[in-house]
Amino acid sequence: MIQHTSCSSPTMSAPKLKEVNVSLPRKFDTPDEPWHRYVTVDLLHYVLGYTVFHPFVSCVLVLCLRAQYTAWHALEMRIAIAWALLMCSVGIFNIFSDRLAYGAPREVDLSEEVIVVTGGVEGLGGLLAETYGMRNANVAVLDMKKVDDEEAEEKGVLYYQCDVGDAKQVEAAVAEIVEDLGAPTILINNAGMVRAKSILDSTPEDVEQTFRTNTLSHFNTLRAVLPHMLRERRGTIVTVSSVLGRLGAANLSSYSASKAALLALHQSLRAELSQNPDAKEIKTILVTPGQMGTKMFQNLKTPSNFFGPVVSPAEVAKSIIGLVEKGESGEVALPLYAKYTESLGALPVGIQALLRRWSAMDTAVEKAGMVEKKQN
């Protein structure tokens, strides 16, 4: 007779799962929207990208027609074959284009990575930090806001109170991170602030503070973290800019200018890394989101929900995490119009003026009551 013994014993207990306090939205907490409010150009682009414009689906269409004994010389078969060849060619071209521009992806194992997030207490940075914290990754946050130890332990994140605009504070904080967690290998430069003022109403202190937080902080963290990545011969650097860095907007001059500087910084960083043999496995990601549903622009209303929907931080975070964990370089531009703002400069100036007027981008901040007036 064979006796079956139990694998469990009274002395052994299952590993405790991390408890995460989650507050799910209730129906009455969210405004009731008509169904058509959820139909946007981004949704249509997403659906078409996985159907009509997908190489696999295009090839399946040819097979379906052939399964119906459609003759090879029939017009519909020729159109289907031509479309499938075009979609496959575009897909192959994009693969080779990305490989030529960014090189081969690096291997990413979260257990061996140390992630540093600036401005990671709230908003997009907070969502990224907490997501990695729940996955038991090594996460360090640099932020001016203080987080108590109990909350930090719940989230699985180490918080370092630090003004990222101050180079000495950043160097000291990174030294602590190296001692506590190890050498940083993923840097997410997300810290940002906005002062909605006209150029004439902006004080030198306002402009300096905006640039310290939005722009100089990137220089400070790069100088402190990049040497560790070069010694490790691997890493990922995420630069969070904004679509306003390419467009500019009335009453957001200092914010737009500080974000525009990050576009040039990103390109310069890529150029310098390409010259360094120790940086072959260091990837770079540029993030240029449109209006996000965060506290920074919470009162701002988009003029067209169809063409310019408000993008959720979760969507942006998902795209960033996807590229980071694939070990790839690239760009994250959401919603769809953010991908094409760079090409607007090629349009005639009259068309550009009409588009700005139609989009109401230069009046939206004032209508939202966000503009700070100069105190007399």
Query: Tens digit of pLDDT for each residue in 287-315?
Result: 999 989 888 887 788 777 888 888 999 99
Pick the catalytic residue: 255, 318, 337, 374? 255
Opening angle at CA 315, ends 213 and 214, nearest 5: 10
Per the prediction, the chain carries an average pLDDT of 89
Pick the catalytic residue: 155, 197, 259, 283? 259
CATH architecture assigned to 110-367: 3-Layer(aba) Sandwich (3.40)
Residue 6 — pLDDT band, cuts 50, 70, 90?
Answer: very low
32-46, 162-176, 223-237, 349-363: lowest mean pLDDT where? Answer: 32-46
- Told to judge if 259 belongs to the known catalytic residues of this protein, a careful annotator would answer yes
- Told to judge if 318 belongs to the known catalytic residues of this protein, a careful annotator would answer no
Task: Give strand pairing partners of 311.
Answer: 292
Rounded to 10 degrees, the C-alpha dihedral 167/168/169/171 comes to: 90
Q: Is residue 139 exposed (0-12), middle (13-18) or buried (19+ Cβ within 10 Å)?
A: buried
Q: Hey, where are the domains in the chain?
A: 40-93, 110-367
Query: Tens digit of pLDDT for each residue in 335-348?
Result: 999 999 988 888 99
Sign of CA dihedral 40, 244, 338, 353: positive
Please give the pLDDT value at position 323. 97
Please give the pLDDT value at position 305. 83
Please give the pLDDT value at position 87. 97
The pTM (predicted TM-score) of the whole model is 0.88
Which two structure tokens, joined as six digits, stand for 294? 């965060």
- Rounded to whole angstroms, how far apart are CA atoms 240 and 124? 10
